[in-house]
DNA sequence: ATTATACATCGTAATATTGCAATAATGTAA
DNA sequence: TTACATTATTGCAATATTACGATGTATAAT
Protein backbone atom coordinates (compact mmCIF):
# COMPACT_ATOMS: atom_id res chain seq x y z
CA UNK A 1 0.00 0.00 0.00
CA UNK A 2 2.86 2.41 0.53
CA UNK A 3 1.79 3.25 4.06
CA UNK A 4 4.08 2.25 6.88
CA UNK A 5 2.41 0.44 9.78
CA UNK A 6 4.11 2.53 12.40
CA UNK A 7 2.00 1.14 15.20
CA UNK A 8 3.51 -2.32 14.79
CA UNK A 9 7.02 -1.25 15.69
CA UNK A 10 8.83 -0.10 18.79
CA UNK A 11 9.42 3.54 19.52
CA UNK A 12 13.15 3.13 18.97
CA UNK A 13 12.72 1.36 15.65
CA UNK A 14 10.45 4.14 14.44
CA UNK A 15 12.88 6.76 15.66
CA UNK A 16 15.78 5.14 13.84
CA UNK A 17 13.77 4.80 10.65
CA UNK A 18 12.82 8.45 10.82
CA UNK A 19 16.39 9.57 11.39
CA UNK A 20 17.69 7.30 8.64
CA UNK A 21 15.56 9.12 6.13
CA UNK A 22 17.84 12.10 6.51
CA UNK A 23 20.57 10.00 4.91
CA UNK A 24 18.41 7.97 2.57
CA UNK A 25 18.72 10.31 -0.38
CA UNK A 26 22.04 11.34 -1.92
CA UNK A 27 20.94 14.95 -2.27
CA UNK A 28 20.38 15.17 1.47
CA UNK A 29 23.71 13.50 2.18
CA UNK A 30 25.37 15.97 -0.17
CA UNK A 31 23.64 18.85 1.59
CA UNK A 32 24.81 17.61 4.97
CA UNK A 33 28.35 17.14 3.66
CA UNK A 34 28.28 20.67 2.32
CA UNK A 35 27.01 22.12 5.57
CA UNK A 36 29.65 20.18 7.47
CA UNK A 37 32.37 21.34 5.11
CA UNK A 38 31.51 25.01 5.09
CA UNK A 39 29.97 25.02 8.55
CA UNK A 40 27.14 27.25 7.33
CA UNK A 41 25.36 27.43 4.04
CA UNK A 42 22.61 29.05 2.12
CA UNK A 43 20.14 27.62 -0.30
CA UNK A 44 21.44 29.44 -3.38
CA UNK A 45 24.94 28.10 -2.83
CA UNK A 46 23.55 24.61 -2.97
CA UNK A 47 21.78 25.23 -6.24
CA UNK A 48 25.23 25.89 -7.72
CA UNK A 49 26.89 23.04 -5.85
CA UNK A 50 24.34 20.35 -6.66
CA UNK A 51 22.58 20.31 -9.99
CA UNK A 52 19.05 20.40 -8.64
CA UNK A 53 16.39 23.06 -8.97
CA UNK A 54 15.96 25.59 -6.20
CA UNK A 55 12.55 24.24 -5.25
CA UNK A 56 13.91 20.74 -4.94
CA UNK A 57 16.74 21.76 -2.66
CA UNK A 58 14.41 23.82 -0.54
CA UNK A 59 12.25 20.73 -0.13
CA UNK A 60 15.20 18.57 0.93
CA UNK A 61 16.26 21.23 3.41
CA UNK A 62 12.81 21.22 4.90
CA UNK A 63 12.90 17.46 5.34
CA UNK A 64 16.22 17.71 7.10
CA UNK A 65 14.78 20.44 9.27
CA UNK A 66 11.67 18.38 10.01
CA UNK A 67 13.84 15.49 11.10
CA UNK A 68 15.60 18.07 13.24
CA UNK A 69 19.13 17.37 12.11
CA UNK A 70 19.61 20.90 10.79
CA UNK A 71 18.26 24.24 11.86
CA UNK A 72 17.88 27.47 9.94
CA UNK A 73 18.21 31.04 11.03
CA UNK A 74 17.12 34.00 8.95
CA UNK A 75 19.89 36.39 8.00
CA UNK A 76 18.38 39.27 6.14
CA UNK A 77 16.99 37.86 2.94
CA UNK A 78 19.10 34.75 3.26
CA UNK A 79 18.79 31.56 5.22
CA UNK A 80 21.58 30.15 7.26
CA UNK A 81 21.29 26.43 7.71
CA UNK A 82 23.52 24.51 10.05
CA UNK A 83 23.70 21.37 12.11
CA UNK A 84 21.51 21.12 15.20
CA UNK A 85 24.14 19.86 17.65
CA UNK A 86 21.77 18.28 20.18
CA UNK A 87 19.78 16.42 17.56
CA UNK A 88 22.92 15.43 15.68
CA UNK A 89 24.24 13.80 18.82
CA UNK A 90 20.89 12.12 19.39
CA UNK A 91 20.82 10.64 15.89
CA UNK A 92 24.45 9.66 16.18
CA UNK A 93 23.67 7.82 19.41
CA UNK A 94 20.71 6.04 17.81
CA UNK A 95 22.90 4.70 15.04
CA UNK A 96 25.81 3.81 17.27
CA UNK A 97 23.33 1.92 19.40
CA UNK A 98 22.56 -0.26 16.44
CA UNK A 99 26.06 -0.61 15.06
CA UNK A 100 27.50 -1.52 18.43
CA UNK A 101 25.18 -4.50 18.69
CA UNK A 102 27.35 -6.27 16.18
CA UNK A 103 31.06 -5.92 16.50
CA UNK A 104 33.70 -7.72 14.42
CA UNK A 105 34.29 -10.29 17.14
CA UNK A 106 30.68 -11.13 17.87
CA UNK A 107 29.62 -14.64 18.91
CA UNK A 108 28.48 -15.57 15.42
CA UNK A 109 26.35 -18.62 16.03
CA UNK A 110 25.04 -19.28 12.54
CA UNK A 111 25.83 -18.94 8.84
CA UNK B 1 9.05 12.55 -10.72
CA UNK B 2 10.13 10.24 -7.93
CA UNK B 3 13.37 9.39 -9.69
CA UNK B 4 16.63 10.12 -7.96
CA UNK B 5 19.22 11.89 -10.07
CA UNK B 6 22.03 9.60 -9.02
CA UNK B 7 24.45 10.97 -11.56
CA UNK B 8 24.50 14.36 -9.86
CA UNK B 9 26.02 13.09 -6.64
CA UNK B 10 29.34 11.71 -5.52
CA UNK B 11 29.98 8.01 -5.22
CA UNK B 12 30.17 8.26 -1.45
CA UNK B 13 26.92 10.18 -1.15
CA UNK B 14 25.17 7.57 -3.26
CA UNK B 15 26.71 4.77 -1.21
CA UNK B 16 25.55 6.32 2.03
CA UNK B 17 22.05 6.91 0.70
CA UNK B 18 21.87 3.29 -0.42
CA UNK B 19 23.03 1.97 2.92
CA UNK B 20 20.70 4.29 4.82
CA UNK B 21 17.74 2.67 3.13
CA UNK B 22 18.39 -0.44 5.19
CA UNK B 23 17.45 1.59 8.25
CA UNK B 24 14.86 3.83 6.66
CA UNK B 25 11.89 1.59 7.44
CA UNK B 26 10.97 0.47 10.95
CA UNK B 27 10.23 -3.06 9.79
CA UNK B 28 13.78 -3.41 8.52
CA UNK B 29 15.20 -1.93 11.70
CA UNK B 30 13.08 -4.38 13.69
CA UNK B 31 14.34 -7.24 11.54
CA UNK B 32 17.93 -6.21 12.09
CA UNK B 33 17.35 -5.87 15.81
CA UNK B 34 15.83 -9.32 15.88
CA UNK B 35 18.71 -10.86 13.95
CA UNK B 36 21.17 -9.13 16.25
CA UNK B 37 19.33 -10.32 19.32
CA UNK B 38 18.96 -13.95 18.32
CA UNK B 39 22.07 -14.02 16.17
CA UNK B 40 20.25 -16.04 13.51
CA UNK B 41 16.68 -16.01 12.39
CA UNK B 42 14.19 -17.40 10.01
CA UNK B 43 11.42 -15.77 8.11
CA UNK B 44 8.54 -17.47 9.90
CA UNK B 45 9.81 -16.35 13.29
CA UNK B 46 9.58 -12.79 12.11
CA UNK B 47 5.99 -13.19 10.97
CA UNK B 48 5.18 -13.96 14.60
CA UNK B 49 7.44 -11.29 16.00
CA UNK B 50 6.32 -8.43 13.77
CA UNK B 51 2.71 -8.17 12.69
CA UNK B 52 3.35 -8.13 8.97
CA UNK B 53 2.38 -10.63 6.30
CA UNK B 54 4.89 -13.25 5.25
CA UNK B 55 5.20 -11.76 1.78
CA UNK B 56 5.97 -8.35 3.19
CA UNK B 57 8.71 -9.62 5.47
CA UNK B 58 10.23 -11.68 2.68
CA UNK B 59 10.37 -8.51 0.65
CA UNK B 60 12.10 -6.52 3.40
CA UNK B 61 14.58 -9.36 3.86
CA UNK B 62 15.39 -9.22 0.18
CA UNK B 63 16.03 -5.50 0.34
CA UNK B 64 18.39 -5.98 3.25
CA UNK B 65 20.11 -8.74 1.31
CA UNK B 66 20.35 -6.56 -1.80
CA UNK B 67 21.98 -3.83 0.24
CA UNK B 68 24.28 -6.57 1.46
CA UNK B 69 23.87 -5.99 5.17
CA UNK B 70 22.49 -9.49 5.74
CA UNK B 71 23.13 -12.80 4.07
CA UNK B 72 21.03 -15.91 3.94
CA UNK B 73 21.99 -19.52 3.92
CA UNK B 74 19.61 -22.33 3.09
CA UNK B 75 19.00 -24.80 5.88
CA UNK B 76 16.72 -27.49 4.61
CA UNK B 77 13.46 -25.83 3.79
CA UNK B 78 14.29 -22.87 5.99
CA UNK B 79 16.37 -19.80 5.50
CA UNK B 80 18.94 -18.66 7.95
CA UNK B 81 19.50 -14.95 7.73
CA UNK B 82 22.32 -13.25 9.55
CA UNK B 83 24.53 -10.21 9.48
CA UNK B 84 27.16 -9.98 6.76
CA UNK B 85 30.13 -8.96 8.92
CA UNK B 86 32.23 -7.36 6.18
CA UNK B 87 29.38 -5.31 4.80
CA UNK B 88 28.21 -4.38 8.28
CA UNK B 89 31.61 -2.95 9.02
CA UNK B 90 31.61 -1.13 5.70
CA UNK B 91 28.25 0.48 6.38
CA UNK B 92 29.25 1.29 9.91
CA UNK B 93 32.36 3.01 8.61
CA UNK B 94 30.34 5.00 6.09
CA UNK B 95 28.10 6.36 8.83
CA UNK B 96 30.87 7.00 11.29
CA UNK B 97 32.61 8.93 8.54
CA UNK B 98 29.65 11.27 8.43
CA UNK B 99 28.98 11.49 12.13
CA UNK B 100 32.59 12.18 12.94
CA UNK B 101 32.56 15.26 10.76
CA UNK B 102 30.61 17.02 13.44
CA UNK B 103 31.59 16.46 17.01
CA UNK B 104 30.14 18.21 20.04
CA UNK B 105 33.04 20.61 20.24
CA UNK B 106 33.12 21.58 16.57
CA UNK B 107 34.12 25.11 15.49
CA UNK B 108 30.50 26.25 15.10
CA UNK B 109 30.90 29.34 12.98
CA UNK B 110 27.26 30.20 12.44
CA UNK B 111 23.78 29.97 13.86
C1' DA C 1 8.31 52.86 -5.89
C1' DT C 2 10.46 49.55 -8.73
C1' DT C 3 13.35 45.96 -9.49
C1' DA C 4 16.20 42.25 -8.11
C1' DT C 5 17.54 38.59 -4.90
C1' DA C 6 16.70 34.70 -1.86
C1' DC C 7 13.73 31.20 -0.24
C1' DA C 8 9.33 28.90 0.65
C1' DT C 9 5.18 26.88 -0.93
C1' DC C 10 1.80 24.98 -4.23
C1' DG C 11 0.40 22.11 -7.76
C1' DT C 12 1.43 18.50 -10.60
C1' DA C 13 3.70 14.58 -13.07
C1' DA C 14 6.42 10.62 -12.64
C1' DT C 15 8.64 7.09 -10.17
C1' DA C 16 9.33 4.46 -5.74
C1' DT C 17 7.85 2.05 -1.77
C1' DT C 18 4.80 -0.59 1.15
C1' DG C 19 1.63 -4.26 1.94
C1' DC C 20 -0.80 -8.32 0.94
C1' DA C 21 -3.40 -12.16 -1.40
C1' DA C 22 -2.47 -15.57 -4.48
C1' DT C 23 0.63 -18.48 -6.40
C1' DA C 24 4.99 -20.81 -7.33
C1' DA C 25 8.92 -23.30 -5.83
C1' DT C 26 11.39 -26.23 -2.82
C1' DG C 27 12.17 -29.27 0.87
C1' DT C 28 10.18 -32.47 4.60
C1' DA C 29 7.12 -36.00 6.48
C1' DA C 30 3.58 -39.41 6.06
C1' DT D 1 2.93 -40.09 -4.04
C1' DT D 2 0.39 -37.03 -1.20
C1' DA D 3 0.22 -33.69 2.15
C1' DC D 4 2.45 -30.23 4.65
C1' DA D 5 5.75 -26.57 5.86
C1' DT D 6 8.65 -22.74 4.56
C1' DT D 7 10.12 -19.08 1.76
C1' DA D 8 10.09 -16.46 -2.86
C1' DT D 9 7.77 -14.26 -6.47
C1' DT D 10 3.99 -12.08 -8.94
C1' DG D 11 0.50 -8.84 -9.49
C1' DC D 12 -2.00 -5.47 -7.92
C1' DA D 13 -3.78 -1.18 -4.99
C1' DA D 14 -2.57 2.56 -2.17
C1' DT D 15 0.51 5.80 -0.32
C1' DA D 16 5.12 8.19 -0.41
C1' DT D 17 8.87 10.45 -2.55
C1' DT D 18 11.28 13.12 -5.93
C1' DA D 19 11.58 16.85 -9.05
C1' DC D 20 10.40 21.18 -11.01
C1' DG D 21 7.76 25.23 -12.93
C1' DA D 22 5.05 28.75 -11.25
C1' DT D 23 3.89 31.63 -7.75
C1' DG D 24 4.13 33.96 -3.17
C1' DT D 25 6.68 36.56 0.33
C1' DA D 26 10.07 39.17 2.36
C1' DT D 27 14.29 41.72 2.28
C1' DA D 28 17.83 44.48 -0.32
C1' DA D 29 19.28 47.52 -3.90
C1' DT D 30 18.52 51.22 -7.29
Separation between Cα atoms, residue B42 and residue B65, nearest integer Å: 14
The answer to whether residue A1 scores a pLDDT higher than 70 is no
What mean pLDDT do residues B9-27 have? 97
Q: Report if residue B101 sits inside a domain.
A: no
The answer to whether residue B104 scores a pLDDT higher than 80 is no
pLDDT in tens, A2-48: 688 788 899 999 999 999 999 999 999 999 999 999 878 899 899 99
Q: Report if residue B108 sits inside a domain.
A: no
Q: What pLDDT shows up at residue B105? A: 65
Q: Do B51 and A95 touch (CB under 8 A)?
A: no
Q: Which residue's C-alpha is at the least distance from the C1' of C13?
A: B1
Provide the CATH number for the domain around residue B64: 1.10.10.10
Q: Does A52 touch chain B (CB under 8 A)?
A: yes
Separation between Cα atoms, residue A56 and residue A83, nearest integer Å: 20
Q: What pLDDT shows up at residue A107? A: 54
The count of domains in chain B is 1
Q: Report if residue B110 sits inside a domain.
A: no
Q: Report if residue A66 sits inside a domain.
A: yes
What mean pLDDT do residues A42-68 have? 95
> Is residue A82 classed as helix, strand or coil in its secondary structure?
strand
Q: Which residues of B38-74 are buried (b: 16+ CB within 10 A; e: fewer)?
A: ebbbebebbbebbebeeeebeebbebbeebbbbbbee
Chain B: residue whose CA lies nearest to A24: B17
Residue B82 pLDDT class (50, 70, 90 cuts): very high
Map B39-91 to HEC letters: CCECHHHHHHHCCCCHHHHHHHHHHHHHHCCEEEEEECCEEEEEECHHHHHHH
Residue B40 pLDDT class (50, 70, 90 cuts): confident
Task: Tell me the residue range of the domain where B39 lies.
Answer: 9-93
Q: How far is the CA of A17 from the C1' of C15 (A)?
A: 22
Q: Do A106 and B39 touch (CB under 8 A)?
A: yes
Q: Report if residue A25 sits inside a domain.
A: yes
The answer to whether residue B5 scores a pLDDT higher than 90 is no
Q: Report if residue B102 sits inside a domain.
A: no
Q: Report if residue A49 sits inside a domain.
A: yes
Chain B: residue whose CA lies nearest to A80: B111
Q: Do A85 and B99 touch (CB under 8 A)?
A: no
Asked if B23 contacts A3 with a C-beta cutoff of 8 angstroms, the reply is: no
Residue A103 pLDDT class (50, 70, 90 cuts): confident
Any atom of strand D under 7 A from CB of A56?
yes
Residue B87 pLDDT class (50, 70, 90 cuts): very high
Residues of B (18-47) whose Cβ lies below 8 Å from A: 19-30, 32-33, 36, 39-40
Average pLDDT value over all residues in chain B: 91
Any atom of strand D under 7 A from CB of B14?
no
Q: Report if residue B3 sits inside a domain.
A: no
The answer to whether residue B55 scores a pLDDT higher than 90 is yes
> Is residue A63 classed as helix, strand or coil in its secondary structure?
helix
Amino acid sequence: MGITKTELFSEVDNQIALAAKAFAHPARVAILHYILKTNACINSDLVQELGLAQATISQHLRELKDIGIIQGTIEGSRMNYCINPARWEEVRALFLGVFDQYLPGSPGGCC
